[in-house]
Amino acid sequence: SWRERAFIAWVGPRGIVAAAVATLFAERLDAAGDPAGHALRALVFLVIAITVVVQGPLVGPAARLLGVQRPRNHGYAILGATPLALELAQALRDGGEPVVLLDANADHCREAEERGFDVIFGNALEETRLARAEIDTRRAAIGALPNAALNLLFVERARREFGVPAGMIAIPRGTGAVQQDAAREAGWSVLFGAPAELELWSVRLHRGLAHVEEWTVGEARPGEALASPEEMATTLLPLVSRRGERVRPFDDRVTLRPGDRVAWLVFDERAESARAWLAGRGFTR
């Protein structure tokens, strides 16, 4: 676009040709015994230095003025393109949030691409992969693999090397006590609100045995929705919450208010019991 061309014209390399020509002419003048050669070279390099000093601080304002600056605090980077991670990404995208997925599994990446997602194939801990994902512009890094240790490494690296302000990690149910404490001590939140049956939900989604339902928080004690009983852990899984136009992944820091909406993953075979449980806690469809 003309905006991008104008920005490149402003910040592009300057003085390379002038410096080369000035050096050539200075040498020729020096060889001819003309003292102006040294002054010519010094003058050209002085102009180049002043140009860099003046234009450097104006790069940011120029990008904002022309509308070509990359957005900050925008969208999510998700480690993993498993069926469960894709369902989470879909819910975020439906809410208007940009999403990029990173995975080393070629089949997962292919399926994500078929669904129209931006995907980075390869080791998500490598700096080049993270840079390609523009992770420094993301609102949060999300580790959604069924491997809590790898999820933790991913969000840690995103913060340490790219300054990502927030992170969420998925923790497999049954192995989560230590990992959950480690995540909270590091300042991260737990995706889905608590340790979950990550692989089980992925298998169900792959086989078409689960679907998403959106429920609205009613007036009756909405906070209870955060404490789903153990017997519902394989029946319901909260994916995202929505307040107004803002959608965010569901984690253990979510505080629901009347009118908020939650997208729940529901196991088909126990859909009626799931709906009864939600209705009993003040949710409406």
Give which of 109, 111, 91 is closest to 101, Cα–Cα: 109
- Give the pLDDT of residue 223: 46
pLDDT of residue 71: 64
pLDDT at 88 over 90: yes
Can you tell me the mean pLDDT for 70-89? 90
Confidence band for 204, pLDDT divided at 50, 70 and 90: very high
What is the pLDDT at residue 109?
96
Q: What is the pLDDT of residue 225?
A: 46
Looking at residue 163, its amino acid is G
29 vs 220: CA distance, rounded Å: 89
Q: Which two tokens stand for residue 20?
A: 């080369």
- Cβ count within 10 A of residue 261: 18
Residue 229: pLDDT band (50, 70, 90) is: low
- Rounded to an integer, the average pLDDT of 4-31 is 72
Rounded mean pLDDT, 92-100? 95
146 and 79 Cβ atoms separated by less than 8 Å: no
Token representation of residue 276: 């009864």
Per the model's pLDDT, the better-predicted residue between 6 and 133 turns out to be 133
Q: What is the pLDDT of residues 154-179, one digit of tens each?
A: 999 999 999 999 999 999 988 756 66
CA 275 to chain centre: 32
User: Which two structure tokens, joined as six digits, stand for 252?
Assistant: 């253990």
Q: What is the mean pLDDT of the chain?
A: 85
Yes or no: say if 135 and 76 are a contact pair by the CB < 8 Å rule. Answer: no
Mean pLDDT of 144-150: 93
Higher pLDDT, 156 or 26: 156
Provide CB contacts within 8 A for 244, sequence distance 6+.
Answer: none
pLDDT recorded at residue 184: 76
pTM of the model: 0.76
Q: Are strands 140-143 and 167-169 parallel, antiparallel or unpaired?
A: parallel
Distances (CA, A) of 66 to 15, 58, 71, 268: 24, 12, 13, 50
- Confidence category of residue 24, pLDDT binned at 50, 70, 90: confident
Q: pLDDT-derived band of residue 39, with 50, 70 and 90 as boundaries?
A: confident
Total residues found in the chain within this entry? 285
> Stretch 25-39: mean pLDDT, rounded?
77
Q: Which candidate, 126, 125, 76, places its Cα nearest to that of 96?
A: 76
Contact between 88 and 27 (Cβ < 8 Å)? no
> Considering Cα of 24, then 27, then 30, then 35, what sign does the dihedral take?
positive
Least confident window among 66-70, 190-194, 271-275, 281-285? 66-70
Q: How far apart are CA 255 and CA 277, in angstroms?
A: 19
Instruction: Specify the 3-state DSSP secondary structure of 238.
Output: strand
| Res 280: pLDDT | 87
Name the range with the highest mean pLDDT among 18-27, 77-86, 189-198: 77-86
Higher pLDDT pick, 1 / 111: 111
Query: Residue 208 pLDDT more than 90?
Result: yes
Does position 220 have pLDDT exceeding 60, yes or no?
Answer: no
| Axis crossing angle, helix 2-11 with helix 59-66, rounded to the nearest 10 | 170
**More confident position, 276 or 68:** 276
Mean pLDDT on 138-159: 93
Handedness of CA 226, 228, 233, 234 (dihedral sign): negative
